[in-house]
Amino acid sequence: MDTQENPQQDPQPSDARPVLEAPDIARVLTRIAHEIVERAKGADDVVLLGIPTRGVFLARRLADKLAEITDRKIPVGSLDITMYRDDLRMHPPRALARTEIPGDGIDGRLVVLVDDVLFSGRTIRAALDALNDIGRPRAVQLAVLVDRGHRELPIRADYVGKNLPTSLRETVKVQLAEEDGRDTVLLGAKPAARGAQQ
C-alpha cells in the first residue's frame, strides 16, 4: 500500500537510510521471477495481481521478467482491496484504485499477489477476501519486495525480496520509478510527536 501520500509525515525524513537501491531491487525481482517459475513448474497458469499502488508496478516488472524467462506473455492485473479493509471505520473513506482482472479471469489459475511491503498482513487478508468475490483460483501465493515483520494475522509470503527486521518505531518506504521517479527502499524513524499512525 501507499506509503508516500501521508500528509502528516515528512516525505523524506532526513534520517531515512536506503536499505535497497535500484540495482538491488532489479536483482531481487529477477530472483523472485525465477523462484515463481521453479515453484509453479513453468508458470503456465500464473496470473500476477498487484495491490495498488506500488504492488501493481512490481507485478508488471515481474511479468516482464517472467516473460523473458518463459518466453510467454504472463497475464498481469491489479486488485484494489480498499473496500475489503478491516480498518475502514478508522479513517475517512479513501479514493478507490483500479481493479483490473486479466481477460481470462482467475478461475483455476495460480494467482500470485504482489505487494511492496508485508507488515501486519491485514492488506493480504483483505486481498484474499476480494479474490473470493472475483473467482476461484487453483492456489494463491504472495510475493513481496520487503517483509518487515510484525504480523498480526497468520499470513506469510511465498516470495520475499528482502527480510528487514524493524521496530514499530521505524517506517519503511518503497519508492518506484513509475510513481516516485526512482527505485529505492528507505528505512526511517517515525516522528515521535506524531505517532498516531499505526
Query: Site residues (CB under 8 A) for another protein?
Result: 1-9, 80, 83-84, 87-99, 116-117, 119, 129, 133-135, 148, 171-172, 190, 197-198
How is 113-169 classified by DSSP, letter by letter?
Answer: EEEEEESSSHHHHHHHHHHHHH---SEEEEEEEEE----SSS---SEEEEE----TT
Q: Which SS3 state, helix, strand or coil, does residue 44 take? A: coil
The CB density around residue 57, as the number of other CB atoms within 10 Å, is 21
The nearest distance, CB 55 to another protein, in angstroms, is 12
- Measured distance CA(40)–CA(55) in Å, rounded: 20
Please say which residue, 96 or 139, places its beta carbon nearer to another protein. Answer: 96
CB 121 within 8 A of CB 152: yes
- CB of 71: closest distance to another protein in angstroms? 31
**43 or 77, CB closer to another protein?**
77
CB 173 within 8 A of CB 6: no
- Residue 48 C-beta: closest distance to another protein, Å: 19
| Closest distance to another protein from the beta carbon of 132 (Å) | 8
Identify which of residues 64 and 135 has a Cβ nearer to another protein in the complex. Answer: 135
Q: Which is nearer to another protein, 123 or 141 (CB)?
A: 123
Q: How far is the CB of 142 from another protein (least distance, A)?
A: 15
| Separation between Cα atoms, residue 12 and residue 48, nearest integer Å | 31
Nearer to another protein, 66 or 137 (CB): 137
